[in-house]
Structure 1
Amino acid sequence: MKTGRNLILLLLALHCAGSSLSAQELVAGADFATRFDNREYSGNAFSPSETFFSARLTPEFGVQWDGRNRLMIAVDLWQDFGDGSKFLTDAKPQIYYTFSAPRVTASAGIFPRTQLLGSYSEAFFSSDVVFYDNLISGVLANYHSPRGYVEFALDWEGMRTTKTREKFRILSAGEYRGARLYGGYAFSMLHYAKSANETPDEGVVDYFLVNPYAGVRFHAFFDFDLRLGYLQSVQRDRRIGQSWSPKGGEFLFSMSRWGLSLRNHLYLGQNLMPMWGTYGSTVYTGSPFYGTTKHVYNKTSIDYERLFFHDTLGIKAGFVFHYDGVGVGVQQLLTVSVKLEKIVYKARK
């Protein structure tokens, strides 16, 4: 109840700010997303068979001014279907400021991960991490133009307390596009440290991952995209004094038209997650299949994705086939999303 009162007071403060200063607008909106994810992985070695079915509703309110500044507050209301023990499975706040110019964008606070521009391989973030861990707590800045972009972000994921360990991640990505050819990179650095109440089994982990890539996009009845990338990681567990530097190559192919797409990702290389048995998803946010010990992982997906009603409603459905050098697993996905926003008050100049 105390949190609810604080949110109401903040909303009233935003309203007063919007009413007292000129050239300001109050905006209100709501985002909705539901995701069905059924995984039949009994033939695979690196991920179990399971089903996730969840929904997220995000009402938001804020003030924008001068056409470039926006101060927003929102709440992610989560419900895992079948979780009858709770009214809400989780609730997460969003509180952030965003500056937007024609070629520069910057945000600070707790803001949606969708503000990232970078093309991050699933070795960095799996699709379920992108959906469920959908917020960044920190800062983001990017420069973008028709020819490409470059971005930097700091995500503070863990505060050092007696119960939690310090954890932060630095992200950067960039891409340059020609008429057909393009090239870019993605980079991540994770620092996972100790809690304030240190125990003998706690150590410090440093995890670097970089992915330079180059590709070509062209249209020949279908829209084609072919990309070749290199994944290099450097990892260290200071507790045991051991380091790893796994690497591999990744080839991506896609063809699409009419909302239908066929995509294939092929990874050939070493196990990118050598500390998975110790730290699991606490350190590794990428797809567990990149922890293959068979030096191969192939992912083939067939999707249908379209926007409706002036781009306010999005639907995506598809099948994904995973091969990890041991067996083939099948994944069925369905996502439905809604995005609404409206100016509810405009101050007179």
Structure 2
Amino acid sequence: MKKATLLLLVAALASLTELRAQSWIAGADFETKFDNREYSGNRFGESKTVFGVRLSPEVGVAWDDRNRLIAGVDLTHDFGDTAHFLSDVQPVVYYQFQSPNFQVNAGIFPRSKMLGRYSEAFFDEEVKFYHHRLQGLLANYRAEHGYVEFAIDWEGFRTEKQREKFRILSEGRWHDDRFYAGYSLMVLHYAKTLDETEDQGVVDNMLINPHAGVRFNAFFDFDIRLGYLQSMQRDRRTGGGWLTPKGGELHVSMSRWGLKLENRLFVGQNMLPLWKIYGHDLYECNTFFGVTDHIYNRTALSYGNSFFRRTLKVEAALVLQYDGVGCGLQQILKIGVNLEKVFTRTKK
């Protein structure tokens, strides 16, 4: 049924192209990712290997230079998953309005439409790969010296078996040639199913991250960012009131020729106090932020570059994770392709 609906939508878009549109669009976003995590010496990281591929072909129509209506499909496959032809198939359907400074996306659209550079205290890289689509609304405004964005991602539709879940995101940043300052914000609401049981509670999870930084060149390109993380979390089932873990995050990077050496240091409290109850259902962040020894450090040496007019992107990294207990090693290799062609039709 879902496949038939998607085919009908694509056919409808093709009809619109013939009848009314000034141009039509065809494109595809491809990414394959190898992420090997060896965390046996750590207390808070899970050893695993993420190795898979994602392909998101899209077609659509564009009119008046500012409007687009896009339909596509998000295809994901985990290498070695012999039980399924594809591990996951999800629709992509959205409207986009774009002017020189303002952009709105409504529907089911790729995460890449967002401008924000959220800390891994919000989203882990694995989440960005598998939770590739946002369902809801995204609006952002970009000016010469900064931007601001707001998004609603409705992640769970309430049914007898599925809990209601939605997330509000916002980020803003001001910058000049050297200094910048801004904030990142998340408000997560995790509710019950229609078939409620006594062990189900309504959970609120809020996180604010004001930050400031400086960028400069001294043979290498340096970026130094200092941020404060403040969370407010409440499980209404227990009636225990608000939990308010907090901490500071220092990010320092130096890069040249595509090579980058960066270090991220977190000092603070356990930012995942309800992890043992809700796990990944509540937290999509890097689990190392659940440290209880008040320190987490991530050091990475990476190479990243774009080729063929920025249509091909390659990234490789070797990462050392320390959680106050032990050290873990992570190896990453990503290859991405982004293609888009706009076919203009002369109006008769």
Corresponding letter in the other structure for 2:285: G
Query: Which position in structure 2 is the counterpart of 1:52?
Result: 50
Give secondary structure in 1 for the equivalent of 2:212. strand
Query: In 2, distance between residues paired with 1:11 and 1:53?
Result: 30
1:35 is aligned to 2:23: no
1:41, CA displacement in angstroms? Answer: 0.6
Query: Which position in structure 1 is the counterpart of 2:322?
Result: 323
Corresponding letter in the other structure for 2:65: G
Query: In 1, distance between residues paired with 2:2 and 2:167?
Result: 28
1:4, CA displacement in angstroms? Answer: 2.5
Query: In 1, distance between residues paired with 2:135 and 2:2?
Result: 19
TM-superposition CA deviations, 1:46-102 (whole Å, max 9, x none): 122211100011111000111111110111111100001111111011100010000
Query: Which position in structure 2 is the counterpart of 1:161?
Result: 159
Unpaired runs of 5+ in structure 2?
A: none
Query: In 2, distance between residues paired with 1:209 and 1:89?
Result: 32
8 Å Cα contact 1:35/1:333 also seen in 2: yes
Report the identity percentage.
Answer: 55
1:199 is aligned to 2:197: yes
1:344, CA displacement in angstroms? Answer: 4.0
Corresponding letter in the other structure for 1:102: P
1:340 is aligned to 2:335: no
Query: Which position in structure 2 is the counterpart of 1:17?
Result: 16
1:73 is aligned to 2:49: no
Query: Which position in structure 2 is the counterpart of 1:299?
Result: 298
Query: Which position in structure 1 is the counterpart of 2:7?
Result: 8
1:179, CA displacement in angstroms? Answer: 2.2
Query: In 2, distance between residues paired with 1:5 and 1:135?
Result: 21
Query: In 1, distance between residues paired with 2:64 and 2:161?
Result: 43
1:97 is aligned to 2:92: no
TM-score by length of 1: 0.98
Unpaired runs of 5+ in structure 1?
A: none
1:5, CA displacement in angstroms? Answer: 2.5
Query: Which position in structure 1 is the counterpart of 2:229?
Result: 231
8 Å Cα contact 2:136/2:152 also seen in 1: yes
Quick one: which of 55, 58, 61 aligns to 2:59?
Answer: 61
TM-superposition CA deviations, 1:241-296 (whole Å, max 9, x none): 12210000110000111100011100000000000000001111110000000000
8 Å Cα contact 1:56/1:79 also seen in 2: yes
Query: Which position in structure 1 is the counterpart of 2:220?
Result: 222
8 Å Cα contact 1:29/1:340 also seen in 2: yes
8 Å Cα contact 2:313/2:335 also seen in 1: yes
Query: Which position in structure 1 is the counterpart of 2:250?
Result: 251
Query: In 1, distance between residues paired with 2:224 and 2:73?
Result: 38
Query: Which position in structure 2 is the counterpart of 1:133?
Result: 131
TM-superposition CA deviations, 1:122-163 (whole Å, max 9, x none): 000011111111111000101101200001000101011101
1:30, CA displacement in angstroms? Answer: 1.3
Give secondary structure in 2 for the equivalent of 1:17. helix
TM-score by length of 2: 0.98
Corresponding letter in the other structure for 2:239: G
Please provide the CA RMSD for this pair: 1.0
Corresponding letter in the other structure for 2:16: A
Give secondary structure in 2 for the equivalent of 1:226. strand
Query: In 2, distance between residues paired with 1:91 and 1:66?
Result: 32
Query: In 1, distance between residues paired with 2:284 and 2:107?
Result: 21
8 Å Cα contact 1:19/1:347 also seen in 2: no
8 Å Cα contact 2:101/2:143 also seen in 1: yes
Query: Which position in structure 1 is the counterpart of 2:172?
Result: 174
Query: Which position in structure 2 is the counterpart of 1:188?
Result: 186
1:345, CA displacement in angstroms? Answer: 5.4
8 Å Cα contact 1:74/1:94 also seen in 2: yes
Query: In 2, distance between residues paired with 1:227 and 1:154?
Result: 27
8 Å Cα contact 1:205/1:237 also seen in 2: yes
Query: In 2, distance between residues paired with 1:116 and 1:21?
Result: 29
Corresponding letter in the other structure for 2:251: L
8 Å Cα contact 2:6/2:91 also seen in 1: no
Corresponding letter in the other structure for 1:99: F
1:297, CA displacement in angstroms? Answer: 0.2
8 Å Cα contact 1:164/1:195 also seen in 2: yes
Query: In 1, distance between residues paired with 2:147 and 2:292?
Result: 35
1:3, CA displacement in angstroms? Answer: 2.6
Query: In 2, distance between residues paired with 1:66 and 1:258?
Result: 40
Q: Which region of structure 1 is more displaced relative to structure 2, 4-13 or 75-84? A: 4-13
1:216, CA displacement in angstroms? Answer: 0.3
Give secondary structure in 2 for the equivalent of 1:179. coil
Aligned residue pairs: how many? 347
Corresponding letter in the other structure for 1:88: L
Query: In 2, distance between residues paired with 1:175 and 1:335?
Result: 28
8 Å Cα contact 1:21/1:347 also seen in 2: no
Alignment of structure 1 residues 111-130 onto 2, 5 Å: 111-130=109-128
Query: In 2, distance between residues paired with 1:275 and 1:347?
Result: 58
Give secondary structure in 2 for the equivalent of 1:16. helix
Give secondary structure in 2 for the equivalent of 1:55. strand
